[in-house]
Structure 1
């Protein structure tokens, strides 16, 4: 009996050891050999996450990176995980309390005020978010009417989401706001995962992650970084799409997601097709508790390739950062310097010319290609703080958001006179040696007696004047006379072919302006028949760049460039080339494009080039004091234009250099600057910057070429 019992005990012990061994082997397989082996029996959540592609860089022509990206982290919710827990409200309130403690803001688009008395804030949201709210109402609490009041909606949602009565209205509103964001992403919209906090700092990241909120995780992202304080008006910015942009441009044509950031102005908008990358799509497999079980990229159903993010291409501009910097700094310095002279007001109370200056603009072009080397507008703003400064900027004095260089059509004043010379000499009305006697007052027409400025100021005349000398001393009488003799259609066609009142071709939005002619006057005064006729007086006033002539600084620079290269008008452009995201492949080179070629006769060319040379080098030239001793020969013209608003006159200055082999053209304009010669100081600074490497002492070596 004892032997049998011992045998049974031995048998049971062996069986027990076998069972333990089987369990141990199974456990080994689970934990060592097949660590994910039993996840097939675990409830899994599959979440497709869009991995945003990095936007391309924006560089100047010399490779200076002006705009790039900075890697950052966002805190993102997996809505399937957080709403599946029993303590969702408690988790979210702990999260809200931590945000309050840390002093950080989070994304909340729920359109109800954050505290009682509750009211709707729909009008403060983009139209797309207003649409999301309308989709939300019928999907919760058994379906809610769109005309439900804000207080009733809050009471209904407190009950629907099971928020305790003991909670304050503020806490309840905060949690409902987050649950609203999560609910939208379940099945009501095509919005991606809820980005709770963007660009989170390390302190906030650590403080929130230690809470262990289910479904809340970090995702790497990118934010735009501006490496320069210059070029705000042309670099532009990115932002959320409007509903119209989504419906009409990006949804079907581009295939963008609705929350994609796109260029909203400047180069960011103009070169969107190059800068915008292609987003990737990653599948995250998670357990109920938020544990990540697997992760992989979706595959394209056609090619079978993984849909990884593809960064945008890099755009190299024609802009030279050094030239842009010079333009903006000297605009700032000159304008603020003139404003400060108001303290020097004499006893008669008349403020000094230019002390009421309001703003200005500068454009520099490569004469041989049409490439824009600088394009500046003042006042300006800081792109890095643009969003924070928006409320102040939009209503600020002198309109700092306004791009004067491209969008402000100004009266050109005497800078228009070269067009008159070309028209008259091309048509044979006068020759370079033809003289016209300046009588001071042009009194051919009764009741209309325009005067030469020299007569008005000094009671003197210029005597016998040729075309080139008329440009040199800016004799108005000469231009009154030829305007009275020429068919104005010839003048208008000449101005058009020289680029005035015509689109320049730049990639950014520009205003076209208009030329003074019968058609323009009829259009401008269509509601006033007594004023919309075209009379001899209109021609005479228009001949000196007044009347209805209105051109942007960009057009004035194009005009100067066409004069410099004797009739060839290039398409103006900001785009030099496009390179791959890794800078290894040249994707596109923007070659020069000729828009038109206009015949300029030998007589006309001789007259206006001599006249513009004399403006600088003749002792009576209006730019002689500024550039007369400059080591490089410069051709220039000043312009002073009357304004309708009173105060100081506007000032314009155009030039090209070198005189014998022009490389660059410059146009500078100042609103109420007083005189055109005043703006010549900025042109001189730009010439210094451009020819810096070739001017040794007072000697020009002539080696500079734009590459």
Structure 2
């Protein structure tokens, strides 16, 4: 009996232990590791295949397609149960195919091939990569992989080789390629449910090789995808912008909007500004797999919804003329330069803007040098190493001294503030002697020891008489000059739908204190006002600002927000999603007598003055102003603003040529644009411009 009781107690203990073990296992499976096993079970049973939505198209004002989509092939990777060594071998074979077929693939590791060096990109375009470097180390040093901020590029490469178990059996280049893809895949959240896009827009040859050897590529698949297509390659590149794979910073900012690690996002230009409209809604197809591998489709699939399309204010035909004339003129200046110093041999860049005077619409906007977005990946290294910075949008980001093109503003400000009368005569004495310690000269005195004699405001604009504008600038003072510059949008953003736009700045005592280091030199002197009055000193404006300033003069004082978008429309039914109408920013109250006197002076510049050699016997009347700005040791910058027709202005133009020698050279680009817009018979636009020393620019102190 005692033995039976003992056995019963032992049996109860055994059962209790077994029960406790079962309870513990259930707790482990459902609580401690529940999420992990749920994911594994779910991955085994269910897969959601994302069907990418096509991105919205971008059209010009007349419906000409500038950016669309084409169906291409992408290579995607799914996490499988293969070991590191096998995974590395799969990647090596895949990259071999990419190289043999000249296909690009994603590699986000900011380290070059051997000898290893960091190669961070200046993504925020602030002129430095230090913030990108700091952010990268911050994002990677906390992952428990031995990555520390003081490590060299070589040390980090060695660390990743160990992390990913990359064998020395591969060559050094092959090791770097394997590490690069594995790093990019991991950074993109590769898992059994999250696919990583290894490459997109691959060739048919690459597709064929991968599919023929599919058994060698476990976890690799080729899918149909939408690829951005540029229907007029190279046209309006800086305005249209580019797309690219979302980076870590962009993902963090947009993940709540449904973006994934592998999504494409607008990086620059309209592609960036219009992201909220252009991006469609991805579709999904759900499938289940039984244990034996049989696939069964799950109902309730979601169809992709294409992104909306954007209609721009650009006239693509006028854009072509603007870009060609800008490029041809710059190349002709270089070709016609000789051995004389500062004769244009260094002319290598510029910008042009064309604005509808009555609406503020940008009809054309060009920045030179430019590039072909359809070849961005292939040409990237060449582009970033080009000293002329072809990826920089000078239209809205380039800052230039306006030179004598600023004089119409000085005239308006002086007349409207009562510091000058329309009929008042000021005699040019060659040397301006009001200040004992600073006595600048008129350009004609400096060149020929001559003067312009007696000048009213219209004649002073025609002759670009520095003496005249020294005097009225001094009378008025810098505060009034700054006030009127702001009214005309100089030193202010135009509001154009491009995130790259900068404000620039008008010369002022406050700004001088910001940029001048010496305490003594930071003081504002009377001579600073004289220089500001002729468009020199510390004033720096963008080409788009100069065009809008010219448009505001042309229409009598209405400054519009510069508009690049006409409308956003639905790709599903063509309905209007958003309409963009003209928006008045400022109404400059000007007496008719004042604006007429200034505009007459600008007409005389074209009819009889510095631009007359370009517009001789022209078919319509034009108002304009040439300008030149000295820039360090190089050739002078050439600047020109204009509007036409004179009696009923429709468009305004600004042209800036870096090291273009003289404003007359820039006028050639404006003429070509007027020829096209007004359908005038044009002379040969490739004729070589003259390169004589400019007599329109003010002299620097």
TM-score (norm 1): 0.79
After superposition, what is the alpha-carbon deviation per residue over 1:89-125, rounded to whole angstroms, capped at 9, x for unaligned? 799489559838955668576979999x999999899
1:325 paired to 2:320: yes
CA 1:449–1:187 in 2, change beyond 3 Å: closer, same or farther? closer
Q: CA separation in 1, counterparts of 2:588 and 2:409?
A: 12
After superposition, what is the alpha-carbon deviation per residue over 1:530-565, rounded to whole angstroms, capped at 9, x for unaligned? 112222211112111111111111111111111111
Deviating more after overlay: 406-415 vs 446-455: 446-455
Contact 1:128–1:243 (8 Å) recurs in 2: no
Deviating more after overlay: 235-244 vs 461-470: 235-244
CA 1:119–1:632 in 2, change beyond 3 Å: closer, same or farther? closer
Map 1:254-293 onto structure 2 (within 5 A).
254-286=257-289, 292-293=295-296
Contact 1:114–1:170 (8 Å) recurs in 2: no
Contact 2:109–2:180 (8 Å) recurs in 1: no
Map 1:221-236 onto structure 2 (within 5 A).
221-228=225-232, 229-236=234-241
Match of 2:355 among 338, 358, 365: 365
Structure 1 residue aligned with 2:465: 475
Contact 2:92–2:178 (8 Å) recurs in 1: no
Please give the secondary structure, in 1, of the residue aligned with 2:599.
Answer: helix
Please give the secondary structure, in 1, of the residue aligned with 2:634.
Answer: coil
1:669 paired to 2:650: no
CA 1:291–1:236 in 2, change beyond 3 Å: closer, same or farther? farther
Structure 2 residue aligned with 1:460: 450
Please give the secondary structure, in 2, of the residue aligned with 1:406.
Answer: helix
Please give the secondary structure, in 1, of the residue aligned with 2:514.
Answer: helix
Structure 1 residue aligned with 2:506: 515
CA 1:49–1:457 in 2, change beyond 3 Å: closer, same or farther? same
CA 1:170–1:401 in 2, change beyond 3 Å: closer, same or farther? closer
Q: CA separation in 2, counterparts of 1:388 and 1:549?
A: 38
Q: CA separation in 2, counterparts of 1:175 and 1:351?
A: 49
Cα drift, residue 444 of structure 1: 2.2
Contact 1:72–1:199 (8 Å) recurs in 2: yes
* Aligned-pair Cα RMSD in Å: 3.8
Please give the secondary structure, in 1, of the residue aligned with 2:330.
Answer: helix
Q: CA separation in 2, counterparts of 1:492 and 1:386?
A: 41
Match of 2:635 among 648, 652, 656: 648
Contact 1:367–1:564 (8 Å) recurs in 2: yes
Cα drift, residue 217 of structure 1: 3.6
Structure 2 residue aligned with 1:60: 60
1:218 paired to 2:206: no
Structure 2 residue aligned with 1:311: 306
CA 1:447–1:582 in 2, change beyond 3 Å: closer, same or farther? same
* Total equivalences in the alignment: 619
Deviating more after overlay: 438-447 vs 186-195: 186-195
Please give the secondary structure, in 1, of the residue aligned with 2:568.
Answer: strand
Deviating more after overlay: 361-370 vs 451-460: 451-460
Structure 1 residue aligned with 2:246: 241
Q: CA separation in 2, counterparts of 1:183 and 1:426?
A: 64
Q: CA separation in 2, counterparts of 1:352 and 1:329?
A: 24
Match of 1:578 among 568, 571, 574: 568
Q: CA separation in 2, counterparts of 1:383 and 1:513?
A: 27
Deviating more after overlay: 400-409 vs 122-131: 122-131
Structure 2 residue aligned with 1:142: none
Cα drift, residue 484 of structure 1: 2.2
After superposition, what is the alpha-carbon deviation per residue over 1:274-323, rounded to whole angstroms, capped at 9, x for unaligned? 111111222133456866432555xxxxxxxx532111111111111112
Map 1:78-93 onto structure 2 (within 5 A).
78-79=78-79, 83=81, 92=90
CA 1:429–1:309 in 2, change beyond 3 Å: closer, same or farther? same
CA 1:238–1:197 in 2, change beyond 3 Å: closer, same or farther? closer
Deviating more after overlay: 124-133 vs 387-396: 124-133
Cα drift, residue 233 of structure 1: 1.5
Cα drift, residue 458 of structure 1: 2.2
1:631 paired to 2:622: no
Q: CA separation in 2, counterparts of 1:513 and 1:100?
A: 45
Structure 1 residue aligned with 2:687: none
CA 1:628–1:154 in 2, change beyond 3 Å: closer, same or farther? closer
1:609 paired to 2:609: no
Q: CA separation in 2, counterparts of 1:524 and 1:314?
A: 43
Q: CA separation in 2, counterparts of 1:486 and 1:604?
A: 16
Q: CA separation in 1, counterparts of 2:544 and 2:119?
A: 41
Structure 2 residue aligned with 1:438: 428
1:564 paired to 2:554: yes
Deviating more after overlay: 95-104 vs 510-519: 95-104
Please give the secondary structure, in 2, of the residue aligned with 1:99.
Answer: helix
Deviating more after overlay: 663-672 vs 49-58: 49-58
CA 1:45–1:570 in 2, change beyond 3 Å: closer, same or farther? same
Map 1:405-554 onto structure 2 (within 5 A).
405-508=395-498, 509-525=500-516, 527-554=517-544
Unaligned stretches of 5+ residues in structure 1: 1-42, 139-146, 298-305, 699-707
**Max Rg structure:** 1
Q: CA separation in 1, counterparts of 2:185 and 2:452?
A: 81
Q: CA separation in 1, counterparts of 2:418 and 2:618?
A: 35
Please give the secondary structure, in 1, of the residue aligned with 2:365.
Answer: strand
After superposition, what is the alpha-carbon deviation per residue over 1:453-484, rounded to whole angstroms, capped at 9, x for unaligned? 12222222221110001001111111111122
Q: CA separation in 2, counterparts of 1:510 and 1:100?
A: 38
Match of 2:202 among 200, 203, 213: 200
1:590 paired to 2:592: no
Structure 2 residue aligned with 1:374: 364
Structure 1 residue aligned with 2:691: none
1:681 paired to 2:668: yes
Deviating more after overlay: 174-183 vs 543-552: 174-183
Cα drift, residue 211 of structure 1: 2.8
Q: CA separation in 2, counterparts of 1:409 and 1:110?
A: 33
CA 1:113–1:445 in 2, change beyond 3 Å: closer, same or farther? closer
Please give the secondary structure, in 2, of the residue aligned with 1:333.
Answer: helix
Q: CA separation in 2, counterparts of 1:337 and 1:172?
A: 47
Structure 1 residue aligned with 2:346: 356
Structure 1 residue aligned with 2:24: none
Q: CA separation in 2, counterparts of 1:178 and 1:472?
A: 62
Structure 2 residue aligned with 1:384: 374
TM-score (norm 2): 0.79
Unaligned stretches of 5+ residues in structure 2: 1-42, 122-131, 147-153, 684-701
CA 1:196–1:560 in 2, change beyond 3 Å: closer, same or farther? closer
Cα drift, residue 75 of structure 1: 3.4
Contact 1:615–1:636 (8 Å) recurs in 2: yes
